[in-house]
Structure 1
Amino acid sequence: MLSIIQPNANSTALKLISLPSPTINPSLGEHLIRVKACAPCAGELLWPKNFPPPSPRELIPCPDVAGIIISGPEDSPFQPGDEVYARTNYSRPGNACEFSIGVTEELAHKPKGMSWVEAAAIPVSAETAWQILCIHAGIAGDAEVDFATAQAAWRGKRVLVTAASGGVGIWVTQLATLLGAEVIGTCGAANIALVQSLGATEVIDYRRTHLREWAEQPGKKVDVVIDCIGKQSLEDAWWTVRDGGVVLSIFQPPKQACPKDFKGTGVKGVFFVMEPVRRHLEEITKLVELGKCRGMVDSVWPLEQYQEAFQRLDTGHARGKIVFDLSLNH
């Protein structure tokens, strides 16, 4: 099969090569998937060096996949011919290849009427947002809650989302709005209308407005910061959270970026790494099919243009997800 591969953990110089197709172990819940589209994740080429896989494996990028089940366990809810999508587990190679493996507990049925490319743009971003809002921000307690319970807890909360036009940011903005929160998003000027269309009640152009100055205005402090960028953006965002609030980052532990002169009290810092969970993605499928939320595709590429695609990803200015389209390969 044709595949993009990272030669080793210390090199981000990708190659396009031919590899043997994977073989599955049905007793482990594994399914062979004919990949129709896949999507990379920002910074993922640094993961093997900074977070080595638990066991040595081929370093194939792109954790998001949409495709067709070829084979799997006889008792699986996903049978040959079924259209599925997933964020597959980091313990296995990614999905920038013609055939891949997904296990039962990470797969979900692809939303009806959605293209392969559109579906591949959803899983990792949407599941991350779901887990932020229904588990890790802790608004409804220390355990996971369902969407209805989360709605009762989030209603009326003020939430700041950094990079609200990015892959995860668009989902946090949409889902938090559905939960009844008041969302303030940061983005560049070109994406202000987009973030407003996703439900944000206020949008901050990060190039023109400093968050510390913004937060000094009456009534601007937020209950929760959801940071999707890290570093300076995360440091600046600390000034916006009220005492007793939460600063959550998917980029780094928030305390690492807390300003030295920050005087807030009782603020909780949260960092987590998302896990692919079938029930979360199936709930997202329902919301997508009801038209309550949507993914966003920045650009579409064939596997052969992997260098240009990853260069686009590395700019940090993608509007939604970058997706590889393999549907013409079969």
Structure 2
Amino acid sequence: MSLPTTMRTLLQPSSDSKDLAIASHPLPTANPSLGEHLIRVHACAPCAGELLWPKNFPPPKPRELVPCPEMAGTIISAPEDSPFRPGDEVYARTNYVRPGNAREYTIGVTDELDHRPKGLSWPEAAAIPLSAETAWQALLIHAGIVGGGEEADFSAAREAWSGKRVLVTAASGGVGMWVTQLACLLGAEVVGTCGPDNVALVQSLGASEVLNYRTTDLQEWAERPGKKVDVVIDCIGRKSLEDAWWTVKDGGVVLSIFQPPKLVCPEGYKGEGVRDVFFVMEPNRIHLEEITKLVEQGKCRSRVDSVWPLEQFQEAFKRLDSGHARGKIILDLSLNQ
């Protein structure tokens, strides 16, 4: 097929700036020897706080600062040995070593791609990979409940997780929703925290108890009989993570995707044998394939808060930064073309 020579690209001018601008740039060139595919992007998703990443976590090699680590699109070219062929519809959370996906064409490698789940729109598919893979890796790798490393079997993991109690902070957020759904599928008893407007949503995801963070003192709540949990999975950090320390049993786990939990361990905390974990997710096709199966079976779902054309990126990021989104913010590159 005939390709354009340039494309719309959303750029962050420097790591010291949070400003964004749309520019016309040449298409990226895929290197088949590195497993690279050229992909036409239909929808992509920004991530909260990502405009601070280049300054706080510089890419290993200098690159264009294009936001939006998640995308859904169509394969244009593929390596000969790839399981994906031109015309295949795929989705992924792409690796931070490359520019993100707020551009009309992007690069994805074999080990981070999977076919778009059947029955989902482009925005619905783009809303899944980062949050779902983060939740998967938290539960099946980093929490330490399941053995087996990166290829831990979801069905087999149910035996290890069955009956465990899990506290999920920001359970109505992008990652929290997926932690709640997956933990419930694993047989865990989930307690979720959220604002008053999202209680029904978190209940619908399977949580057995939902705590309004504005009115619930977690230290007092955890002092009630039978309330403490085996694992805390924190999705928001700071004060929520600090308070969550009080809820974990001796010998349990406090895991955060926001910051090292020890940094906010509260003064006077005397729990024993509690393991603290901080990790950053890594794209993994094996994990995404398992997530795709669960989505197609109707066992898990994504949630889209709103969809914006690329030209309205300022409004989209403002909505993201407000902290009031109920689901993922999506940029649809097919709009306003």
Equivalent residue number for residue 211 of structure 2 = 204
Moved more, 11-20 or 160-169: 11-20
Instruction: Confirm whether residue 19 of structure 1 aligns to residue 25 of structure 2.
Output: yes
From 127, 149, 153, give the equivalent of 1:146.
153
Q: Provide the secondary structure at the position in 1 that maps to 2:26.
A: coil
What is the TM-score of this pair, normalised by structure 1?
0.98
Instruction: Confirm whether residue 111 of structure 1 aligns to residue 117 of structure 2.
Output: yes
Equivalent residue number for residue 14 of structure 2 = 8
Superposed, 1:289-328 pairs within 5 Å as 289-328=296-335
**Contact conserved, 2:66 with 2:99, CA < 8 A, in 1?**
yes
Shift of the 269–232 alpha-carbon distance from structure 1 to 2, 3 Å rule, reads: same
Equivalent residue number for residue 50 of structure 2 = 44
**Contact conserved, 1:118 with 1:295, CA < 8 A, in 2?**
yes
CA root-mean-square deviation: 1.0
From 230, 255, 262, give the equivalent of 2:262.
255
Q: Deviations over 1:37-82 (max 9, x none)?
A: 0001111111000000000000000000000000010121110000
Instruction: Confirm whether residue 268 of structure 1 aligns to residue 275 of structure 2.
Output: yes
Q: Deviations over 1:174-222 (max 9, x none)?
A: 0000000000000011100000000000000001111111111111100
Q: Provide the secondary structure at the position in 1 that maps to 2:149.
A: coil
- CA positional deviation for 1:259: 0.6
Equivalent residue number for residue 238 of structure 1 = 245
Q: Deviations over 1:131-160 (max 9, x none)?
A: 011100000247342112211100000000
**Contact conserved, 2:111 with 2:284, CA < 8 A, in 1?**
yes
**Contact conserved, 1:133 with 1:150, CA < 8 A, in 2?**
no
Equivalent residue number for residue 71 of structure 2 = 65
Percent identical pairs in the alignment equals 76
Q: Provide the secondary structure at the position in 1 that maps to 2:210.
A: strand
**Contact conserved, 1:116 with 1:327, CA < 8 A, in 2?**
no
**Contact conserved, 1:300 with 1:325, CA < 8 A, in 2?**
yes
Q: Provide the secondary structure at the position in 1 that maps to 2:233.
A: strand
Distance 1:316 1:195 in 2: 16
Q: Deviations over 1:9-29 (max 9, x none)?
A: 010011111111101101100
Read off the aligned partner of 2:41 and give its amino acid letter. Answer: V
Superposed, 1:87-98 pairs within 5 Å as 87-98=93-104
Distance 1:153 1:10 in 2: 45
Unpaired stretches in structure 1, ≥5 consecutive residues = none
Distance 2:79 2:330 in 1: 29
Q: Provide the secondary structure at the position in 2 that maps to 1:314.
A: helix
What is the TM-score of this pair, normalised by structure 2?
0.96
Unpaired stretches in structure 2, ≥5 consecutive residues = 1-6
Instruction: Confirm whether residue 278 of structure 1 aligns to residue 285 of structure 2.
Output: yes
Q: Provide the secondary structure at the position in 2 that maps to 1:105.
A: helix
**Contact conserved, 2:310 with 2:335, CA < 8 A, in 1?**
no
Q: Provide the secondary structure at the position in 2 that maps to 1:306.
A: helix
**Contact conserved, 1:84 with 1:109, CA < 8 A, in 2?**
yes
Equivalent residue number for residue 226 of structure 1 = 233
- CA positional deviation for 1:327: 2.7
**Contact conserved, 1:58 with 1:93, CA < 8 A, in 2?**
yes
Q: Provide the secondary structure at the position in 2 that maps to 1:212.
A: helix
Q: Provide the secondary structure at the position in 1 that maps to 2:214.
A: coil
Instruction: Confirm whether residue 173 of structure 1 aligns to residue 163 of structure 2.
Output: no
Q: Provide the secondary structure at the position in 1 that maps to 2:240.
A: helix
Equivalent residue number for residue 288 of structure 1 = 295
Read off the aligned partner of 2:157 and give its amino acid letter. Answer: A
Q: Deviations over 1:109-150 (max 9, x none)?
A: 100111000000000000000001110000024734211221
